Copies of this chain bind each other. A is one copy, B any other.
Amino acid sequence: MDEGLEFRARQSIEQVEEGTELAPKFGADGLMACITTDAQSDEVLMLGSMNEKAFRLTLETGEAHYFSRARQVLWHKGVTSGLVQKGIEARIDDDQDALWLRVAISGSGASCHVGYRSCFYRAVPHGGQVDQALSFVEDRKTFDPVAV
């Protein structure tokens, strides 16, 4: 692609991990994982995927774009629902194959298609409580997905 944002070639572990050049790595499926958190509450909202185009658009426009693995399409999050995710900060990990995006969300603040704020709305019992049921940590949906 010949878009504005320039990526550097990956040359060494030192360059990728210790340097200041953006040299991202997309997997065999062309995708990079993106952890999206609410910049205000620090809650993890979702784990998305970005192809190179979505990654570029996210950085260039400052609004989260993903690649939907289910639908195999580029996806400008919130364009139909109004719940656009505005990027506050983007961070890349040591080997530059994962993104952490801190966002602000307009409207109800929901990010999950099921209707909750976060996709991670259920806690899994662990330690001594293994084998108990999942418990809901959000007490109500922020919107009715059927109505929307």
Which residues of A line the B interface, CB within 8 A? 4-6, 17-22, 33, 35, 37, 42-44, 46-47, 58-62, 87, 89-94, 98-100, 112-114, 116, 119-127, 130-131, 133-137
Contacts and interface: CB of A to CB of B under 8 A. Distances in A.
A47 B93 contact: yes
A58 B62 CA distance: 36
Contacts of A119: 93-94, 98
Contacts of A126: 58-60, 62, 87, 90
Contacts of A116: 94
Contacts of A47: 33, 35, 93, 98
A130 B94 contact: no
